[in-house]
Amino acid sequence: MRTRPLKVALLGCGVVGSEVARIMTTHADDLAARIGAPVELAGVAVRRPSKVREGIAPELVTTDATALVKRGDIDVVVEVIGGIEPARTLITTAFEYGASVVSANKALLAQDGAALHAAAEDHDADLYYEAAVAGAIPLIRPLRESLAGDKINRVMGIVNGTTNFILDKMDSTGAGYQEALDEATALGYAEADPTADVEGFDAAAKAAILAGIAFHTRVRLDDVYREGMTEVTAADFASAKEMGCTIKLLAICERAADGASVTARVHPAMIPLSHPLASVRGAYNAVFVESDAAGQLMFYGPGAGGAPTASAVLGDLVAVCRNRLNGATGPGESAYAALPVSPMGDSVTRYHISLDVADKPGVLAQVATVFAEHGVSIDTVRQQGKDGEASLVVVTHRASDASLSGTVEALRSLDTVRGVASIMRVEGE
Amino acid sequence: MRTRPLKVALLGCGVVGSEVARIMTTHADDLAARIGAPVELAGVAVRRPSKVREGIAPELVTTDATALVKRGDIDVVVEVIGGIEPARTLITTAFEYGASVVSANKALLAQDGAALHAAAEDHDADLYYEAAVAGAIPLIRPLRESLAGDKINRVMGIVNGTTNFILDKMDSTGAGYQEALDEATALGYAEADPTADVEGFDAAAKAAILAGIAFHTRVRLDDVYREGMTEVTAADFASAKEMGCTIKLLAICERAADGASVTARVHPAMIPLSHPLASVRGAYNAVFVESDAAGQLMFYGPGAGGAPTASAVLGDLVAVCRNRLNGATGPGESAYAALPVSPMGDSVTRYHISLDVADKPGVLAQVATVFAEHGVSIDTVRQQGKDGEASLVVVTHRASDASLSGTVEALRSLDTVRGVASIMRVEGE
């Protein structure tokens, strides 16, 4: 074994960073044996240097992250700051100064993944980011390496623990959105400002990363259709139950049937209770992958948290250190397929639509005609009348999002349709 | 991209081999883009050369596997023959002649993994075998690489599709073992001689491989305790249901509570219906992994079949080819921890014991005394009497296998115990 240690600079020492530092210290012998050389924590860049950090020697702590990555003797920079800047500049500087990078930064990877990969390649360095998607769950490596000889057609997953906790709570207790969110906040599952989670921004960033890797195509954050879950109601859950379904916020990356384009989208959807994703509880994550040869695979585990995310970071750290000792780099960006990313209108799925209609003869015929005119085939209809009003629930066969939108617009203009109570996609069948 | 192709020799062209050849041909452009150089099928060793093999040029086919691996221009040998010989000699010859090896051979890896890894290392070659365990499910790579910075404490899985199909059938239809086996055979899920599957030999080989990787320790096939599932009865399933459980054939690799030793075992066990492994249906496989930092992870997918196994083989082929272009090798054997493998007597779990006893006063006290004398603590007891006979079902708290064996031996010697109807371990709680 090489005795000269590999030097690691840690950028950020919050929930994840402190766990990375702790494991690097307590498991130093194991890491050395697995890598083939010791790894040494050479510096820790923080915002608040006065905070006491157990297990980290005070002389390692600095507020000058830039100086740390420019030291020139750093082998690997671990970036767990999050956000776009200063993380982006620090990572590109790290490459310029000869280091490889392990990052957990989904927002940055989703926005600037291509440029960062190019910078890594220019400097013969590695850029690994298993922790950026679904926390501890090995997902990037299986998609990028284990399935490298297969053709992935679909990646569909629960990739945000906060929203899964809220939806699971609504499902199991009948609570409304706000009540479930309040509980998630009280328990620390939701942040004070939950926008990034509940509006689907976090999941959309992960969808962009997953789609890019799965389809060997650059997918930018802007390419991902995004719909949050703040408007999911207890009534939606009741409707889902009647269909033998539950509701999950899903990130879905799909290759079109003709193979010539891909789509990526994030939205709440009904899925059958028999689907493996339906039983993913609490803040857990799970990702379902469908490929030509392997068939259906699922990966399940904790999607966030200090220790789980640190596990993923350290797995990458070991790999990057091994590569460095080998004088090699791991697989870089693979975007050779360069498939076009289709707009949301081209996405095809089934829909569950609840309408408030007048309870009089001819309404069903009118509504059915609108669906037919837009080429949307109806699977089931359920009508329930009361005091001159009626609710009409329509579940469609597979149709494009554009056709469905056209249908809904036309329905709204019917006199007999008082309102469109909800539209929800139905997945996983 | 390099234009000179990497040359692949395929040993075996059965269910898996023919799929490997098919995908190499139909996805040649994708593989080339992902590897960075084209890959060429340079030869296919078969037993029956006269068989027509669609998509494989007849001039590539040979019966002389030895000559093929000795050609000297082969970059990667893909071994999908199975069994110990001639596979072992062909693999070591391949290393001697400068090739790396991708194998799907669980029996060989479980028996001779250490020697084969040493041979690979001696010749600076790779030995990859993702397909040897749980077919298409990425498992070896996640354990060996993604979790390389974590401490794995437990690997528990359904790693044999044939027996899961049979047990699932017994569970869902109330069928007996023989009836379910007959259906599995008729549907092609069980071989004409199902011994390797139903007696747990196949699962034990996989357990040895998984334990070795998870604990960085050599675990030989002989170290794995093995119990088949041929004696599981419809009555056992009825008992399991009463406990809110089902029965699965599990491979369990555990680190002892003090961390100083490991165990590996294969046997049928009751698991709660709420456990993710309980809902693994048909011939699917799933493996549950528990580690210090990541927590609980699960990997799910098809555990066998031509295309799924080929997917895993091709993932390895891409990795090995990339390594070759890099002039590097991937992670080799990691056995530095060299923990002792404890005998089955040291394994600790819970037990469900059904006794046929005389229905008279004092029997329960006698039975309870035997448990207490052996230090096995009782969780629940259920007694049902009928015509002077009674059945007594005891569920214990956690106890060592040795304590339980001593208890059962002592119970058998009691006059009032007519027989021990069944003993089954209870896992996953």
**Structural domain for B376, as ranges:** 344-426
Place of tokens 């409304």: A176
Residue of B80, B146, B255 to mutate, interface with A, max A Cβ within 10 Å: B146
Q: Which residue of B136, B293, B299 is in closest CB contact with A311?
A: B293
Is residue A337 assigned to a domain? Answer: no
* CA B344 – CA A36 distance, rounded (Å): 33
Q: Inform me whether the C-beta atom of residue B145 falls under 8 Å from chain A C-beta atoms.
A: yes
ipTM reported for the complex, 2 dp: 0.93
Pairing of strands A152-158, A127-128: unpaired
A296 within 8 A of B128, measured Cβ to Cβ: no
Q: Which residue of A147, A307, A316 is in closest CB contact with B315?
A: A147
* CA A73 – CA A97 distance, rounded (Å): 8
Burial class for A279, CB neighbours closer than 10 Å (0-12, 13-18, 19+)? middle
Q: Say yes or no: B145 and B219 in one domain.
A: yes
Question: Residue A414 has what pLDDT?
Answer: 94
Q: Which of A399, A328, A340 is nearest to A370 (CA)?
A: A399
Question: Residue B361 has what pLDDT?
Answer: 86
Question: Residue B49 has what pLDDT?
Answer: 84
CATH number for the domain harbouring residue B105: 3.40.50.720
Q: How confident is residue A337, by pLDDT bands cut at 50, 70 and 90?
A: very high
* CA B396 – CA B380 distance, rounded (Å): 7
* CA B91 – CA B69 distance, rounded (Å): 8
Residue of A nearest to B316 (CA): A146
Question: Residue A91 has what pLDDT?
Answer: 98
Is residue A242 assigned to a domain? Answer: yes
Question: Residue A224 has what pLDDT?
Answer: 97
* CA B98 – CA B77 distance, rounded (Å): 10
What are the angstrom distances between the C-alpha of A272 and each of A245, A275, A276, A429? 4, 5, 9, 7
- Under 8 Å CB-to-CB from B94, ≥6 apart: which residues? B9, B69, B74, B77, B79, B100, B101, B125
Contacts of B313 in chain A (CB under 8 A): 149
B288 within 8 A of A286, measured Cβ to Cβ: no
Contacts of A305 in chain B (CB under 8 A): 295
* CA B150 – CA A315 distance, rounded (Å): 7
Q: Say yes or no: B61 and B123 in one domain.
A: yes
* CA A399 – CA A350 distance, rounded (Å): 6
Q: Inform me whether the C-beta atom of residue B154 falls under 8 Å from chain A C-beta atoms.
A: no
* CA B215 – CA B238 distance, rounded (Å): 36
- Count residue pairs from A and B with Cβ separation < 8 A: 194
A181 within 8 A of A193, measured Cβ to Cβ: no
B130–A312 C-beta distance less than 8 A: no
Q: Return residues 231-260 of B near A (CB < 8 Å).
A: none
Taking the CA atoms of residue A130, residue A134, residue A135 and residue A137 in that order, the dihedral angle to the nearest 10 degrees is -80
> Per residue in B342-385, pLDDT tens?
999 999 999 999 999 998 888 999 999 999 999 999 999 998 87
**Which tokens belong to A261?**
């384009």
- Domain end among A326, A359, A392: A326
Could you tell me if residue A352 is left (phi over 0), alpha (psi between -120 and 50 degrees) or otherwise beta?
beta
Q: Which of A249, A200, A197 is nearest to A226 (CA)?
A: A200
Q: Has residue B215 got a pLDDT over 90? A: yes
**Which tokens belong to B15?**
């269910």
Is residue B268 assigned to a domain? Answer: yes
Q: DSSP alpha helices (H): ranges in B36-105?
A: 65-69, 87-96
- Ramachandran angles phi, psi of B33, nearest 5°: -65, -40
Is residue B338 assigned to a domain? Answer: no
A295–B149 C-beta distance less than 8 A: no
Q: Inform me whether the C-beta atom of residue A281 falls under 8 Å from chain B C-beta atoms.
A: no
Q: Of the listed A7, A106, A169, A206, which one is catalytic?
A: A206
Q: Say yes or no: A119 and A148 in one domain.
A: no
Q: Inform me whether the C-beta atom of residue B36 falls under 8 Å from chain A C-beta atoms.
A: no
In which element (H, E) is residue B10 found? strand B6-11
Q: Say yes or no: A176 and A267 in one domain.
A: yes
Contacts of A336 in chain B (CB under 8 A): 33-34
Beta bridge mates, B380 = B395
> Per residue in B298-353, pLDDT tens?
999 998 899 999 999 999 999 999 999 999 999 999 999 999 999 999 999 999 99
Is residue A123 assigned to a domain? Answer: yes
* CA B399 – CA B346 distance, rounded (Å): 9
Q: Say yes or no: A393 and A287 in one domain.
A: no
Is residue B45 assigned to a domain? Answer: yes
Is residue A340 assigned to a domain? Answer: no
Q: Say yes or no: B157 and B283 in one domain.
A: yes
> Per residue in A267-320, pLDDT tens?
999 999 988 899 899 999 999 999 999 999 999 999 889 999 999 999 999 999
Question: Residue A50 has what pLDDT?
Answer: 82
Four-residue CA torsion sign, A258, A262, A267, A273: positive
In which element (H, E) is residue A17 found? helix A15-26
Four-residue CA torsion sign, B172, B303, B267, B187: positive
**Which tokens belong to B129?**
């075998």
Is residue B339 assigned to a domain? Answer: no
Burial class for A123, CB neighbours closer than 10 Å (0-12, 13-18, 19+)? middle
pLDDT (mean) for A80-94:
97
* CA A323 – CA A333 distance, rounded (Å): 16
Q: Say yes or no: B245 and B383 in one domain.
A: no
B294–A298 C-beta distance less than 8 A: no
Question: Residue B304 has what pLDDT?
Answer: 86
Q: What is the mean pLDDT of chain A?
A: 95
Q: Say yes or no: A119 and A153 in one domain.
A: no
A408 within 8 A of A371, measured Cβ to Cβ: no
A170 within 8 A of A163, measured Cβ to Cβ: no
A331–B327 C-beta distance less than 8 A: no
User: A406 to chain B, minimum CA–CA distance in Å?
Assistant: 38
Q: How confident is residue A181, by pLDDT bands cut at 50, 70 and 90?
A: very high
Contacts of B216 in chain A (CB under 8 A): 30, 33-34
User: B403 to chain A, minimum CA–CA distance in Å?
Assistant: 34
* CA A263 – CA A225 distance, rounded (Å): 8
* CA B214 – CA B264 distance, rounded (Å): 11
* CA B312 – CA B320 distance, rounded (Å): 12
Question: Residue A288 has what pLDDT?
Answer: 96
Q: Is-catalytic flag, A151?
A: no
Q: How confident is residue A51, by pLDDT bands cut at 50, 70 and 90?
A: confident
A314–B295 C-beta distance less than 8 A: no
Beta bridge mates, A394 = A353, A381
pLDDT (mean) for B180-208:
95
Q: Say yes or no: A295 and A150 in one domain.
A: yes
Residue of A124, A126, A146, A284 to mutate, interface with B, max B Cβ within 10 Å: A146
**Which tokens belong to B402?**
């040795």
* CA B78 – CA B10 distance, rounded (Å): 5
Residue of B18, B35, B145, B155 to mutate, interface with A, max A Cβ within 10 Å: B145
Q: Return residues 164-193 of B near A (CB < 8 Å).
A: none
Q: Has residue A389 got a pLDDT over 90? A: no
Q: Which range, of A22-36, B6-20, B51-65, averages the lowest pLDDT?
A: B51-65
Q: How confident is residue A47, by pLDDT bands cut at 50, 70 and 90?
A: very high
Residue B118: how many other CB atoms lie within 10 Å = 16
Q: Say yes or no: A166 and A281 in one domain.
A: yes
A69 within 8 A of A35, measured Cβ to Cβ: no
Q: Which of A106, A9, A8, A19 is nearest to A64 (CA)?
A: A9
Separation of CA B18 from chain center: 23
Q: Has residue A383 got a pLDDT over 90? A: no
Report which DSSP code applies to A341. B
Q: What's at A249, amino acid-wise?
A: L
Query: 3-class SS at A376?
Result: coil
User: What's this model's pTM, rounded to 2 decimal places?
Assistant: 0.95
Four-residue CA torsion sign, B332, B337, B338, B342: negative
Q: Which of A11, A30, A158 is nearest to A93 (CA)?
A: A11
Q: Which of A224, A214, A314 is nearest to A266 (CA)?
A: A224
Question: Residue B274 has what pLDDT?
Answer: 86
* CA A38 – CA A36 distance, rounded (Å): 7
> Per residue in B41-92, pLDDT tens?
999 999 988 887 888 999 999 999 999 999 999 999 999 999 999 999 999 9
Q: How confident is residue A361, by pLDDT bands cut at 50, 70 and 90?
A: confident
Count the domains in chain A: 3
Q: Inform me whether the C-beta atom of residue A124 falls under 8 Å from chain B C-beta atoms.
A: no
> Per residue in A128-175, pLDDT tens?
999 999 989 999 999 999 999 999 999 999 999 999 999 999 999 999
- Ramachandran angles phi, psi of A244, nearest 5°: 70, 30
Q: Of the listed B169, B206, B241, B386, which one is catalytic?
A: B206
Q: Has residue A388 got a pLDDT over 80? A: no
Pairing of strands B61-62, B262-272: unpaired
Q: Say yes or no: B255 and B278 in one domain.
A: yes
A336–B293 C-beta distance less than 8 A: no
Q: Say yes or no: B276 and B154 in one domain.
A: yes
pLDDT (mean) for B400-425:
95
B14 within 8 A of B48, measured Cβ to Cβ: no
CATH number for the domain harbouring residue A405: 3.30.70.260
Report which DSSP code applies to A145. I
Separation of CA A8 from chain center: 27
Q: Has residue B387 got a pLDDT over 80? A: no
B292–A307 C-beta distance less than 8 A: yes
Q: What's at B61, amino acid-wise?
A: V
